[in-house]
Structure 1
Amino acid sequence: MVGKLWVLALAFYGVMGIARATDAPSAPARIIEEIVTVKTPQGFTQQGVLSKLDSAVAPQKLLVVVSGHPGVTRPRLNEAGQITTRQNGNFLVRARQHLLSPQVVTLLLDCRSDFETQCPDNYQATAERAQDIALLVQEVQRKIPSLVHIWAVSTSRGVITTAGLLKHGQNLYAGIVHTAGTYSKARDQGLEFGPFKTPQFIFHHRQDPCPMTYHRDAVAIAEKWGVGLASVSGGSGFRGEACQAFTQHGFAGREEQVAGAIRRLVESGTLAQTQID
């Protein structure tokens, strides 16, 4: 039942400023983050990191952020009083500041407290997972009542969660974004990417080297279900194995461009950029 919530812990910190082309160099945007925690009907806890620009007075759009494997972020305060996670290198975790605007705030998910080492596929795909997320979203909306449009974005194996939200989200979401998704893993859990009324969008690197996330798989889904597709090229600083976070699979060297395009999509509801070079 979504109605009753128990808030367990809150923590605030100001993060380093970010500067965009529209920002004055002397006045970078200041980010405020908070760990939000609720108790689930099963007696476990569900938490996430709520991030917003200090200048976001009445944001209207909440973007739920789902990291890739292992999907257990476990946010905490470090010795400097800043929030850190187990997955700081993950594409969406490290790029989340570029998703923010005066209209858009983000909620980086953790996996539920009973899953310590990884967020299981067969949990990510369930209505239970969707309900746990909805509880956290409801608490965020209580804290920021101006939030009326809910979006979700995932990367890599987190696509199992966003595909599950399409099936079980009960029309909560204004849009769903998948990046570098392991689409076959979602199908293994009985999920599909259509037909749904909820608008869907895919961001995928043309040279993604991961055998589970080739660009052609994204093209096939986009063509079959009429999903908007943004294809990414280029990047820099590639390192690690094919499916890790600092190859083309994790949009290394293109983080700001990809995250910025996602932010503009959430703001407008329209995929204005289908090629990111």
Structure 2
Amino acid sequence: MHILRALAVALLLAMTVGSQARAQVAEKPVDIPTRGGVTQRMLVLAPPDPKAAVVLFAGGHGGLQIFPNGSMNWGTGNFLVRSRQLFAEQGLLVIVLDTPSDRQTPPYLQGARQRPEHVADVKAVIGWVRETAKVPVWLVGTSRGTQSVGYVATELTGADGPDGIVLTATIVTDPRGRAVPAMPLEKIRVPVLVVHHEQDACSLCAYSEVPGLMRKLAGAPRSHLLSFQGGQNRGDPCEAFAHHGFNGLEREVVRQTAAWITAK
């Protein structure tokens, strides 16, 4: 009986693993033209009948260097990058954004997230997604990726801009440049979701500064703060496996984020 029971458990585990493998949404690298002679590479995950699209902006320098087979040279541990399948499981079309073809070497996007060229590239991505899937397009950034998303949302409006944005682990202070709260956020006229870990120990992302960020979103038709506690905290406090990267909370963070994005 013990042998039969062990075999039954093994079969159940095998079936579970198999079903999880089948649930994985295929990933496809796509290149689109943006500015003159420049292309933008992205990794696309397209579940059937998506409810909305999320364009994911990694933190750091942003240079994922996505290879033609879909693998990456950098950034696989980034909160948004490692959670891309979780977003697809929620019925969202997922676009993982790399740096453009003219920024595939250091410093990648460092110093360039708030430049017209970056806005032009993201505008092309938004247009491609709208033409391809005809669903609302949301920009989702984490850490330094929030500086991309916040800036683009202040520069692109209407048909050119996103339908909403999500700021996770927002850069709220930055001695090397303009933090998100220092941007003209009052210009944003789309819904804004802010997601932050209350124990984020990164010096650029103190939770105590988040209320000031929320007050600057008064022009948005809908804004909300999702705050989290707990999970795991490992390594550099500004890296992806500390509280800064919602380590151990990924599935719940994505679930609540997706629910807010798709709420009627």
Deviation (angstroms), 1:188: 5.2
Task: Give the Cα separation in 2 of the matches to 1:187 and 1:161.
Answer: 11
**Corresponding residue number in structure 1 for 2:236:** 241
Larger radius of gyration: 2
Aligned partner (choices 37, 43, 54) of residue 63 of structure 1: 54
Paired position in structure 1 for 2:86: 98
More helix as a share of residues: 2
For residue 185 of structure 2, what is the aligned residue in structure 1? Answer: 193
* Deviation (angstroms), 1:173: 1.4
**AA at the equivalent of 1:114:** D
Aligned Cα root-mean-square deviation (Å) = 2.3
Q: Which runs of 5+ in 2 are unaligned?
A: 1-15
- Letter of the structure 1 residue corresponding to residue 263 of structure 2: S
Moved more, 99-108 or 59-68: 99-108
Does the aligned pair in 2 maintain the 1:208–1:248 contact within 8 Å?
A: yes
Identity %: 26
Distance 1:74 1:239 in 2: 25
Asked if the contact 2:43–2:70 (Cα under 8 Å) also holds between the matched residues in 1, the reply is no
Q: Give the CA deviation at 1:131.
A: 1.8
Question: Are 1:170 and 2:162 counterparts?
Answer: no
Seen in structure 2, the aligned counterparts of structure 1 residues 102 and 182 have a Cα distance that, compared at 3 Å, is closer
CA shift, 1:102, in A, is 6.5
> C-alpha separation between the residues in 2 aligned to 1:131 and 1:141?
15
**What SS class does the counterpart of residue 63 from structure 2 fall into?**
coil
SS of the residue corresponding to residue 201 of structure 1 reads strand
With normalisation by structure 2, the TM-score equals 0.81
Deviations for 1:99-146, whole angstroms, at most 9, x for unmatched residues? 12464111111111222224435421133312212212333444x3x4
Whether 1:73 aligns to 2:64 is yes
Q: Distance in 1 between matches of 2:27 and 2:78?
A: 18
Verify the 8 A CA contact 2:171 2:179 in the aligned structure 1: no
Q: Give the TM-score normalised by the residue count of structure 1.
A: 0.77
The structure with the largest strand share of the pair is: 1
The question of whether the paired residues in 2 share the 8 Å contact of 1:68 and 1:156 is answered with: yes
